[in-house]
Amino acid sequence: MVLQKLSWLHDYQYELLPNEYKGLKNEFNSLTTSLNRKSRRLNKILNEISVLKNEIQIETKKHNKLYSQLEFINKTYSPKSYLITYSKNGRGEYLQLVVKYLNSTKTIYLGSKPKVIMSLDKYVKNLNDINYGFKICSFLSPLIMKHFIKFNNPKEFLGSTYKMKDILEVLESEVT
């Protein structure tokens, strides 16, 4: 931004000006000073923005590099689980929780669908025959992660057998 400048006046020339021009000249000088200050402040802020953009770019590269080095932890050590419903010789529906952990799968037999829904009803809000698949899986996944999988001995989970009674024991111990 380029400001227009007036030629400099000596004091005796300024004193000869009419009062209305003296007022305009004083207003012009104060406005010029104010604009110069704001212009310098703007340049300082723009420089700071430029520095911040550079710092963000550098830190983003470091962040992405660290993410790619640590990404395997989420893929490998975070168990993924889903619920399977199956029918056994036409006798009813049964539920199993399948947990994928360390590139292996582990199946936990839960029992018949009505018994599982009835036993987990006091722990899971609004559990019914329609939403049981999502609700049970989202309830049991963190519970299994917290109580059955140990990071210091990850193979223990895959080598052990778990059933619904083990899950209920853990839930009872948490309640009391």
Task: Tell me the pLDDT tens digit for each residue of 77-100.
Answer: 777 888 888 887 778 888 998 888
Q: What pTM value is reported for the model? A: 0.56
pLDDT for the residue 22 = 76
The rounded distance, in Å, linking the Cα atoms of 159 and 106 is: 9
Tell me: do 33 and 112 sit in the same domain: no
Task: Indicate the number of domains in the chain.
Answer: 2
The per-residue pLDDT for 168 is 87
Do 145 and 88 belong together in one domain? yes
pLDDT classification of 59: cutoffs 50, 70, 90: very high
For residue 1, tell me if it sits in a domain.
no
- Per the prediction, the chain carries an average pLDDT of 84
Q: In terms of domains, do 95 and 170 share one?
A: yes
Report the sign of the C-alpha dihedral through residues 25, 28, 30, 32, in that order. negative
6-43 in b/e form (b: 16+ CB < 10 A) is eeeeeeeeeeeeeeeeeeeeeeeeeeeeeeeeeeeeee
pLDDT, mean of residues 29-42: 92
Average pLDDT over residues 144-168: 79
